[in-house]
């Protein structure tokens, strides 16, 4: 059992607390920190939390607290991690870890020096569908992953600080690109080094300094590509989709919209439908249990289990640091309009990854390019001569 100091009484704090207290969980939030006392008090009453405070230091150092959970604006992550590390308490931080890689590296150094359990709360790699898809990849069901494409789009975040670059550190690329990048890393292999990126980012719709749309490609040392598509101007709710292409198979995952739960209402129910839903009338796409479907339940189970066993969870501050370095390279690429290197100061994966190789021998003289059954029932083989390189076809 772990007692938690929840830092942040906003939207994400709600999700985290619902997950911690859900399903008769033994872990409990014991104190809530909010910069607004009235909001903190209301949050405490809503969730049955015994104490609230406007002092981050007091929340972290509360003698009943074992774990510090950070659900604060990006500019406050470093301060919160410093307090938790100084108090030698386990710390779980929401994404992105830092506003940039330099901040993320400082936080990584702090928790590792303190020797505490640290979790990077990247919930979307813990969704039930993603966990099952990852297990399929691990067992070789799709062969070697050569391309992972991840998309997160919606009409924009809930709070003002997201839209203020000085507080958030960036726009949609930082806010949501971090999700997509880490999803692709999980499919391609977190031990395979990201080497360079190409990114487009622009402000097309919103009256803000930061970007509201971005596309990017992350190239890995083995030749695989992680592609992300993010937007704060997509209309129609929140769209979370992933595609994985392997040498032996394909995976499609839809985590939020059009997942099999659809409802039409002419009157509207006048209430919450789902995160980022834009309407209460017409065709709606409710979500059965958002904290489960978005990965919060499995994520926190993993992190609290790691705390209990004095180990580290699947997603750590190191992963958050790597993602920040990739995003820094993306911002450089968006500015230079060129492929930019990923400048990792710390790398803990494979020292060298071989290029993806799915070549298949047909016989001693030929490689198999493709095998296809034709409408007449025959099988056509496309072959390449190993010596001459000439492509030929053969019917069976």
* Domains present along the chain, CATH in parentheses: 3-95 (3.40.50.720), 125-292+316-341 (3.30.360.10), 360-395 (no CATH)
259: nearest Cα among 293, 298, 292: 293
Query: At 285, is the pLDDT very low, low, confident or very high (cuts 50, 70, 90)?
Result: confident
Q: What is the pLDDT of residue 308?
A: 96
Least confidently predicted of 96-100, 236-240, 300-304, 334-338: 236-240
- pLDDT of 145 > 80? The answer is yes
Q: What is the pLDDT of residue 283?
A: 82
- pLDDT of 58 > 90? The answer is yes
Torsion-angle region of residue 15: left (phi > 0), alpha (psi -120 to 50) or beta? alpha
- pLDDT of 269 > 70? The answer is no
Least confidently predicted of 151-155, 253-257, 267-271, 322-326: 267-271
**How do 360-361 and 340-341 pair as beta strands?**
unpaired
Buried-exposed string 34-70: b where 16+ CB fall within 10 A, e elsewhere:
beeeebbbebbeebebebbbeebeebbbbeebbbbbb
Average pLDDT for 18-47: 95
Residues sharing a CB contact under 8 Å with residue 84, sequence separation 6 or more, in sequence order? 60, 68, 70, 90, 91, 111, 116
- pLDDT of 268 > 70? The answer is no
Place of tokens 């989709």: 241
Q: What is the pLDDT of residue 272?
A: 66
Q: What is the pLDDT of residue 24?
A: 78
332: nearest Cα among 170, 184, 179, 190: 170
Query: At 273, is the pLDDT very low, low, confident or very high (cuts 50, 70, 90)?
Result: low
Average pLDDT for 98-118: 98
SS (H, E, C) the chain: CCEEEEECCCHHHHHHHHHHHHHHCCCEEEEEECCCHHHHHHHHHHHCCCEEECCHHHHHCCCCCCEEEECCCHHHHHHHHHHHHHCCCEEEEECCCCCCHHHHHHHHHHHHHHCCCEEEECHHHCCHHHHHHHHHHHCCCCCCEEEEEEEEECCCCCCHHHHCHHHHCCCHHHHHHHHHHHHHHHHHCCCCCEEEEEEEEECCCCCCCCCCEEEEEEEECCCCEEEEEEECCCCCCCEEEEEEEECCCEEEEECCCCCCCCEEECCCCCCCCCCCCCCCCEEECCCCCHHHHCCHHHHHHHHHHHHHHCCCCCCCHHHHHHHHHHHHHHHHHHHHCCCEECCCCCCCCCCCCCCCCCCEECCCCEEEEEEEECCCCCEEEEEEECCCCCEEEEEC
Query: At 23, is the pLDDT very low, low, confident or very high (cuts 50, 70, 90)?
Result: confident
Q: What is the pLDDT of residue 282?
A: 84
């Amino acid at each position: 059992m772990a007692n938690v100091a929840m830092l942040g009484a906003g939207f994400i704090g709600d999700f985290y607390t619902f997950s911690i207290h859900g399903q008769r969980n033994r872990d409990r939030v014991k104190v809530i920190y909010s910069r607004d006392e009235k909001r903190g008090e209301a949050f405490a009453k809503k969730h049955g939390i015994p104490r609230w405070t406007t002092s981050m230091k007091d929340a972290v150092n509360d003698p009943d607290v074992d774990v510090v959970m950070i659900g604060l604006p990006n500019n406050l992550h470093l301060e919160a991690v410093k307090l938790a590390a100084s108090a030698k308490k386990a710390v779980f931080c929401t994404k992105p870890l830092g506003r940039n890689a330099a901040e993320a590296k400082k936080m990584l150094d702090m928790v590792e020096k303190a020797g505490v359990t640290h979790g990077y709360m990247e919930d979307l790699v813990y969704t039930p569908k993603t966990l099952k898809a990852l297990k399929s990849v691990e067992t070789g069901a799709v062969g070697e992953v050569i391309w992972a494409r991840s998309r997160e789009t919606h009409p924009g975040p809930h709070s003002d600080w997201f839209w203020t670059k000085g507080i958030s550190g960036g726009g949609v690329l930082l806010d949501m690109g971090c999700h997509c990048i880490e999803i692709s890393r999980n499919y391609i292999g977190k031990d395979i080094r990201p080497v360079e990126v190409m990114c487009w980012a622009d402000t097309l719709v919103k009256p803000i300094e930061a970007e509201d749309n971005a596309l990017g490609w992350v190239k890995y040392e083995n030749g695989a590509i992680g592609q992300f598509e993010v937007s704060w101007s997509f209309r129609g709710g929140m769209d979370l989709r992933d595609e994985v292409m392997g040498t032996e198979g394909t995976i499609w995952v839809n985590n939020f919209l059009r997942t099999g739960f659809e409802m039409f209402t002419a009157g509207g129910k006048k209430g919450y439908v789902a995160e980022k839903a834009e309407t209460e009338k017409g065709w709606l796409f409710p979500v059965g249990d958002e904290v489960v479907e978005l990965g919060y339940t499995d994520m926190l189970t993993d992190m609290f289990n790691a705390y209990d066993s004095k180990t580290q969870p699947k997603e750590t501050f190191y992963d958050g640091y790597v993602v920040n370095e990739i995003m820094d390279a993306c911002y450089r690429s968006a500015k230079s309009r060129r492929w930019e290197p990923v400048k990792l100061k710390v790398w803990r994966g494979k020292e060298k990854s071989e290029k993806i190789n799915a070549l298949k021998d047909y016989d001693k003289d030929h490689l198999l390019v493709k095998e296809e059954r034709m409408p007449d029932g025959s099988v056509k083989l496309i072959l390449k001569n190993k010596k001459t390189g000439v492509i030929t076809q053969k019917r069976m």
